[in-house]
Each structure stands twice: as C-alpha cells, then as structure tokens.
Amino acid sequence: MVKTIFNSQAFYNIKANVADLKKRYICFQRNLVRDNIVKKETPKHEQKPLGSYPVPPEAEMMWRNRHTAYGGYIQQTISPFQQKIVYPFWHMALARWWAKFSSYLWWWIWPFAITHIILWKMFRDAKKYVQQKHCIYILFIDYISSIFFFILCYFI
C-alpha cells in the first residue's frame, strides 16, 4: 500500500538512488530498506560459523581476559614529555599563588581588612553606648562619624 501511494505521488522510484532536489521531495527509499534489516543479534544456538578460523586457544583466552590486568596491578608510566609539562605546573603552583596573593594583598586586601576591623570596632562601641544610654540621636551621630572616618581612612 505504501508503494502504491508513493508511485501515485511520484515520490518513490526503485531505480533512482538520489533524491531529486529540484522537486524538493523526500526520498523514502532508505527508510523502506531499513525496515527489512534485522535489528537484533542472532541467538547463540542459531549462530553458524562462516568458515574455519585458525584461532589458537591461548588467543581466545587472551581475548576473553582482555579487561583484566595480569599480576593484579596496573603500572602506569609518565613520559619525559609529560613530565616536562606537568612538573613545572605543580612545582611552580605555590609560588604563583603566593605571588598573585601578595600582589593583591597590599593594594586591596590589607586596606580592606584594616578598614573593616576599625569599622567593626566603631560600630561595636557605638552599639554598647546606645544600649547604655538608649538615645537614638547619639547613634545617628556615631553612624555619620563612622562613615566620615571610613571615607577618610580609605582615601588617605
């Protein structure tokens, strides 16, 4: 039935192996052939050898044991070329990290840390002072002075 539909629409041609791109039709020939292909492996009891293959039994055993490592361990080696690339990377890693950290330390981390500690102590003292006096006005003055001190410390 599929063949008759394709023949009537001029989609399907057994002798043509190439789709006609001018007509912009889809070639369904490959799809129809693919459906006739066996899609599963033949069971062991139905398999037949195509010929006699001179395979020695030790080769068969080696093939069956191909996923095992004899001796119980796998010995891996690194080539000199790999050592040339990998060793300097790990050997220089700590020095590179320290160089980058110390280059950022004096310009960014150290001023930020000192400013943070000073502001933390200021706000802690202001909080204690407010808790003792219960006065909102003093908290506002301390907040403004701490902001001014932060700006003064950071830009000087």
Is 96 contained in some domain?
A: yes
84 and 28 share one domain: no
Q: Which residue is associated with the tokens 């150290």? A: 110
Chain centroid to CA 37:
38
pLDDT of residue 136: 60
> Can you give the pLDDT of all 156 residues of the chain as single tens digits?
445 544 554 545 555 545 444 555 555 555 555 556 666 777 888 887 777 777 788 888 888 888 877 776 767 788 888 888 888 888 899 898 888 888 887 888 888 889 999 999 999 998 888 777 766 665 666 677 777 766 766 665
* Count of the separate structural domains present in the chain: 2
pLDDT of residue 29: 55
Listed in sequence order, the residues at least 6 apart from 143 whose beta carbon sits closer than 8 Å to its beta carbon are 126
Listed in sequence order, the residues at least 6 apart from 138 whose beta carbon sits closer than 8 Å to its beta carbon are 126, 129, 130
Listed in sequence order, the residues at least 6 apart from 12 whose beta carbon sits closer than 8 Å to its beta carbon are 3, 6, 28, 29, 32
Looking at this protein, which amino acid is placed at residue 120? W
pLDDT of residue 43: 82
Instruction: Write out the residue range of the structural domain in which residue 16 sits.
Output: 1-38
pLDDT of residue 66: 83
pLDDT of residue 116: 92
Q: pTM to 2 decimals?
A: 0.27
pLDDT tens digits for range 91-108: 899 898 888 888 887 888
Burial class (CB in 10 A: 0-12, 13-18, 19+), 71: exposed
Is 62 contained in some domain?
A: no
89 and 143 share one domain: yes
Is 72 contained in some domain?
A: no
Is 151 contained in some domain?
A: yes
Residue pair 149/122 in contact by the 8 Å Cβ criterion = yes
Name the token pair of 50: 């195509």
Dihedral angle, C-alpha 27, 33, 38, 39, nearest 10 ° = 0
